[in-house]
Structure 1
């Protein structure tokens, strides 16, 4: 969530060869794409008892990788250590804990539980940019990475130790992996929408600081604040959207549309117009997009509830923890596609000859891509409602 801060520091090291943006893209890809595999394996009979051990190994692998990266001298080394090994360690730590969370709240309030977890992520994303910026300025990249490695190891082990394993997780055994959810369109509707939305979601986090510095000439500290402004609103919106699902029983498709439409409006009206000349517009975009886009993940609990109901209607088994892992996999594909597209979009440049509009800057194509991916991320509502209407008529 704070890679943009590190990317600026890496770009300042002129001896590094290659595009530093690939580091962040690889990190997201490896971490999220490994989650479907890990969640499936860790729910199998032979692997389920090893969930806590896998989480501990993941914390150690991530910490060692960050520590080793403090001696990196080129982009390729950073990609291997941070983009691959540290990301894999993070996934090994994250996947078992989300399986436990799902098991604890399988009887109800799942969306709210997920939302609280996402809210904590946003709390970290709000404070960490300032911490990382201060450390990078005063200590440099190498020392910052060593301190971060120690923090990952200590906090990771503490978190794994404190989180209780639900009794059902230790005793539940599956004779076979339930794949029947792949036969129903609901999974594909939400997975594809999630993939498309994720293509644009990571781009503002990566480029917002550089954009603010280049066009608004903000000092480095104020540009860093843009990342914090992006994450802070999500502290409330993630919990709010979870409560909409669990307490007010707003449908998951409606929740998804609200999040996606709000995100797209913020991109087109706030980032795309005069944000390159009016600081207040860019601040408003960071807050607004952060509010609606961060809440998108909170709709996943409702999605899984829909798939469980569909499975029950067909008298089929479904493993909700495994489905959650597959949703993370779809997000990972989106992050990779968006990250790789971002480089090409920046090279494509302006969409307008007028420099008065943000669409006329080098970021014009990237802004348009972000807005479109956000809007299309809400298409699940239209498809799902159309499907229901078709079923009713038939």
Structure 2
């Protein structure tokens, strides 16, 4: 072949072919940079969602978890018109309204109103702040019930539901339980720190100024946190399709009902120590009022680690445990704590009561952190049946079951307390006025892990 022919052949080759190799190299490098950039942006948004969700635990749960501080203040500094005993329903009403409204709110913002999540959360923050501000001007007891027990609770639920939906969507099956656990740990930090804050404010300024300060705290923490939590793109895109509805296939699976019943039972007993631990410590173990109040803090502190720990157990890859195993570990351990520690406390046995408070607080507080594993299990069942599943809606229904448990336990505690011994002093806690409550707490706690018994045929595959 002559030189002219070689030159002719080279000139006949298209320019894009001659430059293909360097062009592909540059294209691959660009793709890698774009992938790194997308990954960095994804991680940044996940961190923002986690931080925002953690911050929101203060305005959402700070009052509801620590209403007992206000209740104690009202009992010794009564200045309102109406029955003083009525204030006792404010705390249970607040928790009940919040949890029972969550299934409806989760359904509302899961699909069609997904675009309005941030707006709804801001409206909820506004309602919460307005409610606490109005309650500071209360002159009759029913004013407190309406503003604190109902209006503020609805506002908090309106903040919690859309932001928690976004939290579950930004974290996948492999790390969702850990994310829930971290946020629940922050909830327990709030429950541990706020009693001291509220007590100092109440003693120094009274309940009216305290409520106005709390209004400012709620506004200052909720509004920035809400703006840190973006709605996941998948929900925004799905909300544009008017025909797409919430998939309810999981209602056909027994697994959903097994765990729902377990949550109702565990929650009905979980609220008992929170309500009566203070008075039990003061009346039975004869602790000072300060030491008795400290028990509530000791109850919440272990939950800071417990929620992250049980969330990790549900997601860990080194020693994978099934959802029935993790829930049973939390439920059975808290039941043993109630039966063997709380039930055997006697007059002056402060050490045993402290041990119960810490162990029950750890294992019982971590129970809700196991829901991430429960949702993962239901997702796998849906995948096996080639069914769609809305994890946000599912999480809302689990919270609704928790609300039913709280209300049921509160209603049951009154006749159980009356059924106990007339004496507050006995050799063991079982023989006191609180004996039936102790037994009720232990039994309902252990049945919170009955999913493992229902799943007994799969025991060889559980571990």
User: What range is the shorter-chain TM-score in?
Assistant: over 0.9
Preserved contact between residue 110 and residue 301 of structure 1 (Cα < 8 Å): yes
Query: What SS is found at the alignment partner of 1:2?
Result: helix
> In 2, Cα distance between the equivalents of 1:336 and 1:205?
13
Q: Distance in 2 between matches of 1:72 and 1:372?
A: 40
Residue 119 (structure 2) aligns with: 53
- How many residues are matched? 387
Point out where structure 1 has 5 or more consecutive residues left out of the alignment: 390-394
**Conservation of the 8 A alpha-carbon contact between 2:287 and 2:348:** no
2:223 aligned residue? 157
1:278, 1:11 → 2: CA distance? 27
1:50-74 deviation per Cα after TM superposition (whole angstroms, max 9, x unaligned): 1000001111111111121123344
CA distance in 1 between partners of 2:143 and 2:250 (Å): 40
Instruction: Provide the C-alpha distance between the structure 2 equivalents of 1:241 and 1:186, rounded to a whole number of angstroms.
Output: 20
- Matching of residue 255 in structure 1 with residue 326 in structure 2: yes
Aligned match of 1:201: 270
| Stretch deviating more after TM superposition (35-44 or 362-371) | 362-371
Residue 134 of structure 1: aligned partner? 200
| Matched residue, 2:169 | 103
CA distance in 2, matches of 1:244, 1:329: 24
RMSD (CA atoms): 1.8
Tell me if structure 1 keeps the 8 A contact 2:342–2:352. Answer: yes
More displaced 10-residue stretch of structure 1: 237-246 or 30-39: 237-246
Deviations 1:223-249 (A, max 9, x none): 221111011111111111111111132
Alignment equivalent of 1:328, drawn from 382, 399, 404: 399
1:367 aligns with 2:431: no
Matched, 1:41 2:105: no
- Report the TM-score when normalising by structure 2: 0.80
> Relative to 1, partners in 2 of residues 1:103 and 1:198: Cα closer, same or farther, differing over 3 Å?
same
| Cα separation, partners in 2 of 1:217 and 1:102, compared to 1, 3 Å | same
Give how far 1:377 is off.
0.9
Q: Aligned partners of 1:132, 1:319: CA distance in 2, in Å?
A: 38
Q: Distance in 1 between matches of 2:412 and 2:137?
A: 29
The residue that corresponds to 1:185 in the other structure is 254
* In 2: Cα distance, 1:257 partner to 1:199 partner: 16
More contact order relative to length (CA 8 Å, sep ≥ 6): 1
User: For residues 65-76 of structure 1, what are the structure 2 equivalents within 5 Å?
Assistant: 65-76=131-142
Q: Residue deviations 1:89-138, cap 9 Å, x none?
A: 01000111111111011242111010001011011111111111222222
1:356 is aligned, of 427, 432, 443, to 427
- Is the CA contact (8 Å cut-off) linking 1:348 and 1:362 kept in structure 2? yes
Corresponding residue number in structure 1 for 2:96: 29
Contact 1:233 1:290 in 2 (8 A): yes
When residues 201 and 74 of structure 1 are mapped into structure 2, their CA distance, relative to the original with a 3 A threshold, is farther
Bigger mean CA deviation after superposition, 178-187 or 67-76: 67-76
Give the 3 Å change call, closer, same or farther, for CA 351–310 of structure 1 in structure 2: farther
Indicate which of 385, 388, 391 corresponds to 2:456: 385
Please say which structure displays the higher CA radius of gyration.
Answer: 2
